[in-house]
Chains A and B, each alone.
Chain A
């Protein structure tokens, strides 16, 4: 079977959010990493590969330097990497991004399963996965916390998380699944994998290679949503910090504050 995993290179907001002295984000100082939910999706695909010998292709859309995450994925065990890159694809919102990725997947041809992360830590939209499925006309199962493939039946069984429950869903393949970080703990790159990754050829598609993609569905012009204003959030400052006081005095400070504000 063939699995396509969509991954994104994102700034590391979890480990190292850096601020400039004026309180705005210092994006240049932040590390670029493989988006955590996507990495869990990749791990899920690699586990299916371990079991069934499936072929795993990783696909990303972005600047040429996004090949770093494709090589990382290959070092973890993915077979092939595909990069969609073109200035004409830039400035895309989730509609245009999902249309473009769907066109890239059509270009690749056959697939049984597409796995994406639930959401990327830079945009936090959780929209691109379900929208790729919609453009391809295949079933989507979001928020997967467990995945089990039945190759003979050509079905997949997924635990789909909700707030107060989960559903065990069965879908016919091909289908698209969005993965939660909770799904698994991703494996590390292996030394042999790193060698493979160095030599691996990354397939690159530009705008013109994506023959099923219409101009009105990609890039900034193909994006229904437009940014009216964007700014870095300036956080409220710290209040009063009490250190070098004992537990009794600390408790008293809080108790006084609650009384002063009439909470008690």
Chain B
């Protein structure tokens, strides 16, 4: 095998995470990445660095410290006011080139899945997309004749084929080892109040060129956003719910249980619920304690986003619906009758115990 770009791998140290912020709010994914980064830093005997990019974001460093950052590198510049690929990629790639991390984790968000590939191509390293599990271990996993087994490698596990296959990937000869990580999968730590991180301010300089796009307009969705990834109980509806109005019976059920409403792609495509409530491959991955799949057939793309829920309860009139293959409890029947009755039963049960 020909050597790729000559790098001294030992020069690269530390676990870095990209601390995604939008409108001066750190995204939850940054805390999840910090939680994972702490796990990875232990066997490597190294520290965790958060890379914070934005404009006037210096006030956010303490929060990153509370969630586990030993150090925060801040690039603060007017060019970074809103996310744009080029100035953000330039900033992150410059940080990587200057500080030489061994591992860089980026959230697999609508931002991270643009920033990650651009930066990895720029610094000439591999990037593993949408990881659901990260570990430190040997590559190859078992010793092989005529191949050096490298230790302390980042082993990145991800689903592919719409969740039907699982692959574990390593990046043995290039640094940093980069991965985008699926939101909602890694565990954040309980924040340590008053924790402080070493803060380094760094600015690589920004020279706008043809690759800097201009933002003509920012259009925020006016709907109140619910983070379905944080919900302990999700009542999810699909095509079978039939209309936007009929989501009311799901909302009633969610309300008595203190849960939230989510949906399959079909309900979003029909315009019944907003996109941010969508569970699945092109929506969000969730793993609540209870997941109700109501009028959801269970296409593989949907199942990939919810199959790790603790308890899955499916209601569908079609007994051959694939959702029943992953449900712990499946009820074949009319959701319009079962759901309101269930809500009433739960209310009665709660009243009895009150």
The residues of A with any CB-CB pair to B shorter than 8 Å are: 11, 13-14, 17, 25, 93-95, 98, 121-131, 133-135, 137-143, 157, 161-172, 175, 181, 215-216, 221-233, 235-248, 250-255, 257-259, 261, 263-264
Q: Give chain B nearest CB distance to A113 CB in angstroms.
A: 14
Complex CA distance for A187 and B324, rounded to whole angstroms: 34
The residues in B between 191 and 228 inclusive whose CB is less than 8 angstroms from any CB of A are: 210-221, 225
Q: Are A235 and B325 in contact (CB under 8 A)?
A: yes
Verify if B9 is at the interface (C-beta below 8 Å from A). no
**Chain B residues near A232 (CB-CB < 8 A):** 164-166
Q: Are B313 and A95 in contact (CB under 8 A)?
A: no
The residues of B with any CB-CB pair to A shorter than 8 Å are: 1-5, 22, 82-86, 89, 109-111, 113-114, 116-118, 120-122, 124-130, 139-141, 155, 159-174, 210-221, 225, 233, 257, 276, 281-282, 289-290, 299-301, 307, 311-313, 315, 319, 324-334, 337-338, 341-342, 344-346, 349-350, 353
Q: Are B85 and A162 in contact (CB under 8 A)?
A: no
Q: Are A17 and B121 in contact (CB under 8 A)?
A: no
Q: Are B328 and A134 in contact (CB under 8 A)?
A: no
Q: Are A251 and B345 in contact (CB under 8 A)?
A: yes
Smallest CB gap from B5: residue in A: A216
Q: Are A263 and B121 in contact (CB under 8 A)?
A: no
Smallest CB gap from B323: residue in A: A238
**Chain B residues near A228 (CB-CB < 8 A):** 139-141, 155, 168-170
Contacts A125-B129, A165-B220, A255-B349 aside, 18 further interface pairs with beta carbons under 8 A come to A122-B162, A126-B129, A127-B113, A143-B114, A168-B218, A216-B3, A224-B126, A228-B155, A228-B169, A229-B141, A230-B165, A240-B328, A243-B319, A250-B315, A250-B342, A254-B329, A254-B331, A263-B257
Complex CA distance for A240 and B330, rounded to whole angstroms: 6
Complex CA distance for A161 and B274, rounded to whole angstroms: 13
Q: Give chain A nearest CB distance to B282 CB in angstroms.
A: 8
Complex CA distance for A163 and B225, rounded to whole angstroms: 10
Q: Are B338 and A233 in contact (CB under 8 A)?
A: no
**Chain A residues near B307 (CB-CB < 8 A):** 235-236
**Chain A residues near B257 (CB-CB < 8 A):** 258, 263-264
Q: Are B155 and A263 in contact (CB under 8 A)?
A: no
Identify A264's interface contact among B120, B213, B338, B349, CB under 8 A.
B349
**Known A93-B126, A222-B4: A123·B221 in contact at CB below 8 Å:** no
* Closest 7 pairs (CB-CB, A-B): A224-B126, A247-B337, A225-B126, A239-B328, A125-B129, A134-B121, A127-B117
Q: Are A131 and B118 in contact (CB under 8 A)?
A: yes
**Chain B residues near A236 (CB-CB < 8 A):** 307, 326
Q: Are A233 and B164 in contact (CB under 8 A)?
A: yes
Identify B129's interface contact among A124, A237, A250, CB under 8 A.
A124
**Known A13-B162, A216-B3, A226-B169: A130·B326 in contact at CB below 8 Å:** no
Smallest CB gap from A11: residue in B: B161
Q: Are A242 and B332 in contact (CB under 8 A)?
A: yes
Q: Are B342 and A168 in contact (CB under 8 A)?
A: no
Name 9 A/B residue pairs within 8 A (Cβ), A-sorted: A13-B161, A163-B109, A167-B219, A170-B214, A223-B126, A230-B168, A236-B326, A238-B327, A244-B332
Q: Are A259 and B167 in contact (CB under 8 A)?
A: no
**Known A25-B161, A137-B211, A228-B169: A161·B139 in contact at CB below 8 Å:** no
Q: Are A251 and B139 in contact (CB under 8 A)?
A: no
Complex CA distance for A257 and B311, rounded to whole angstroms: 10
Smallest CB gap from B335: residue in A: A247
Q: Are A134 and B117 in contact (CB under 8 A)?
A: yes
Q: Are B170 and A258 in contact (CB under 8 A)?
A: no
**Chain B residues near A167 (CB-CB < 8 A):** 82-83, 215, 217-219
Q: Give the residue among A227, A228, A247 with the most B Cβ atoms within 10 A.
A: A228
Q: Give chain A nearest CB distance to B229 CB in angstroms.
A: 11
Q: Give the residue among A13, A240, A242, A261 with the most B Cβ atoms within 10 A.
A: A13
